[in-house]
Structure 1
Amino acid sequence: MQGRDKGEYSFSTCWNIRRHPVGEDMIREIAELGFRRVELNYNVTKEMLTTIEPMIERGEIGVSSVHNTFPHDPDPDYGTDSVLLGFEDEVKRKRAIDLLVGSAEYAHRYGGEAVVVHPGEVPFPHDVSKDLEKLYREEGTDSPQYRSKWAEFMERRKALSAGYIEKIIVSLDEVCNRAVSKGLGVRFGIETRSRPQQIPTLTEAKTIIHALKGAPVGIWYDTGHAIMMDRLGLYDSVGEMQGLMDDIVGVHIHETLGLSDHWCPYVHSKDMHFYDAYLPMIRKAQVKVYELKAACEPDAIHESHELLVQKLAALEE
């Protein structure tokens, strides 16, 4: 189905990358939805780029953004769920910096405006988010079991986060200096994350951005992830954003059902009002990217987009 032109909106390759070993096929399927721009996500390989780059050069598709680490790096130390820019090990931290500068070089080469950055996390002996999610589903956030586990989690997070945030600030400062010296002209958006041990909270985002005042760093507001963190109790995803509205680089547009993310806003939740609270962030963002899961069908994507643009138009009025 050929979709109507989606204008300034971009679409992440996370939707269909598992279906297409050939990059060109993946991009053509997205273009058929009506998107003129894509976000190339962290699973896009160099092999895929051999067929995507000619499409970019011919003007068949534009690139809004790339998602660090780009192109795909199989080393889990530099994957999406890692300490990354907060590594205490200087060799690893320098490697993470090099990879992020490399991502920015690709974004610049493709005419992209931004790089989506996962800054890091507070390491735990095991993935504590799984325990919290299980308790959320089975007992609820008001249960004694959840409150006890959450208090234990937050004690460790608060005790350790400052050191990692300091490292992230130093790393981003170096990244920005190198990017500016190379004339790359892209912005770095530190993304709201999907696990509570991951950095940043909205308060942490403000700390990082203010420490780097004047640098091309802002927040990449992933709406679905922020909703999840709000539900778990990490922060107020709407109220705490008010102090960051002028620092939004981009948004990932998707809705969350419970703690399941990357669904089409309004359509899958069947709630015509809940997601409205996130429209001001979408309106403010320089780069607007749908980041949807493979289960989202074209008809649902079109319907969701129509609802979103209608609501944004009403907001303008």
Structure 2
Amino acid sequence: MEDKGAFSFSTCWNVKRHAVGSEMVQEIKTLGFRRVELNYNVTKEMLADIEPMIERGEIGISSVHNTFPHVPDPDYGTDSVLLGFEKEEKRQRAIELLMRSAEYAQRYGGEAVVVHPGEVPFPNDISKELEQIYNRQGRDSEEFRSKWAELMGRREAYSAGYVQKIIKSLDEVCNRAASKGIDIRLGLETRSKPQQIPTLAEAKTIIKALKGAPVGIWYDTGHAIMMDRLGLYDSVGEMDDLMDDIVGVHIHEAIGLSDHWCPYVNSKNKDFYDAYLPMIERAQVKVYELKAACRPEEIHESHRLLAAKLARRRQSGGNDNVQEIGGK
């Protein structure tokens, strides 16, 4: 099987179909990956099987995804306020969990922790409502514009306060990590729902406020594509000012508002994803984060196409013309 080199592969792909951690990792190894990202659904029980593989050098760990290992409490899950909690007790618990993730990453020889910073909470699942309207009527419909205005009104009223809480929490995490000799970067992930933090502008605000700290952006390409399609930000143009701050990338493509598909292959568009190659090229950690529906042959073909395009960019000095994001 073709060796995928420095690229890593997230357990997001197969964690739901395995109870034994070593079998999950072994399946990823058969795809040609020497490194994995352990995602937030990996349990302590799974780690008991995976740790001997790490110790024997059978697999490398690129990164772990906070909160890690799996935390069943939804208050500290992937879609929550997390580092932005106003209640001090809950905020401190979120800090402790992120510290634990960083400690695991260090123990396993990883380079980074993927962090979901938080969100502006809504009483209703407004992102699901927006997705349904988008799929049914499109972004230019009156119903979509009305619902979007509702979301942005609340987001603009409250996001700054949550961003400041997140900055405070990350500052505390970085200070604790430094005192313990933990040398792990924290990547703030671009998220999949428009009420979630950060936008690219918010990421810049957070990173600038923590200048000198090991905090940067984790550019999740599929999520960024979806947020661009909804109108939250320009997923390519706004990255210009963040290129020096990229910690890692999640490599996957979105078809409409459905994410975690193999780039180029599932969308059958051979050019669109080229716009994200500069971010992938710049990232320290490059991780495929694909859904279970992606078949091994699709994964191999997607990697072959992406690797060839990256090689051509290197040969041309990174000056390949890439397709603009519009018209998607």
How high is the TM-score relative to the length of structure 2? Answer: 0.96
Whole-Å separation in 2 of the counterparts to 1:146 and 1:76:
29
Which position in structure 2 is the counterpart of 1:244?
Answer: 242
Q: Equivalent of 1:157, from 155, 158, 166?
A: 155
Shift of 1:8: 0.3
Other-structure match for 1:264? 262
Question: Hey, what's the Cα distance between the residues in 1 that align with 2:246 and 2:203?
Answer: 11
Map Cα deviations across residues 174-220 of structure 1 (whole Å, 9 max, x no partner). 00111111111110000000000000000000000000000000000
Q: Which residue of 1 aligns with 2:24?
A: 26
Offset of 1:127 from its aligned partner? 1.1
Moved over 4 A (4+): none
Aligned residues between the structures:
315
Task: Show CA shifts across 1:265-298 (max 9, x none).
Answer: 0000000000000000000000000000001010
Please tell me the root mean square deviation across aligned C-alpha atoms, in Å. 0.5
Residues 92-129 of structure 1 deviation map (CA, whole Å, 9 limit, x = unaligned): 00000000000000000000000000000000001100
Letter in 2 for 1:163: G
- What is the percentage of aligned positions where both structures have the same residue? 77
For residue 37 of structure 1, what is the aligned residue in structure 2?
35
1:166-315 mapped onto 2 (5 Å cutoff): 166-315=164-313
SS in 1 for 2:15: coil
Query: Post-superposition shift, 1:247?
Result: 0.1
Letter aligned with residue 93 of structure 1: R
Deviation at 1:151, TM superposition (A): 1.1
Aligned-partner Cα distance in 2 for 1:38–1:290: 9
1:66-81 correspondence runs (5 A): 66-81=64-79
Give 5+ residue unaligned stretches, structure 2: 316-328
SS in structure 1 at match of 2:193: coil
Cα displacement (A) at 1:154 = 0.3
Task: Give the deviation of 1:316 after TM superposition.
Answer: 1.2
Deviation of the 1:145 alpha carbon = 1.3
Partner amino acid for 2:82?
Answer: L
Q: For 1:73 and 1:195, how far apart are their aligned partners in 2?
A: 21
Deviation, 1:152, is: 1.5
Q: Deviations over 1:209-266 (max 9, x none)?
A: 0000000000000000000000001000000000000000000000000001000000
Residue 136 of structure 1: aligned partner: 134
Shift, 1:147, TM fit: 1.0
The CA distance in 1 between the partners of 2:182 and 2:51, in whole Å, is 18
Distance in structure 2 (CA, Å) of the matches to 1:15 and 1:145? 35
Q: Which of 264-273 and 144-153 deviates more?
A: 144-153
SS in 1 for 2:17: coil
- Residue identity in the other structure for 2:58: E
Q: Deviations over 1:125-153 (max 9, x none)?
A: 01100111011011111111111111111
Gaps of 5+ in 1: none
Deviation, structure 1 residue 160: 0.4
Query: Which residue is 1:51 aligned to?
Result: 49
Q: C-alpha separation between the residues in 1 aligned to 2:196 and 2:44?
A: 28
Residue 168 of structure 2 aligns to which amino acid in structure 1? V
CA distance in 1, matches of 2:306, 2:5: 13
**TM-score with structure 1 setting the length:** 0.99
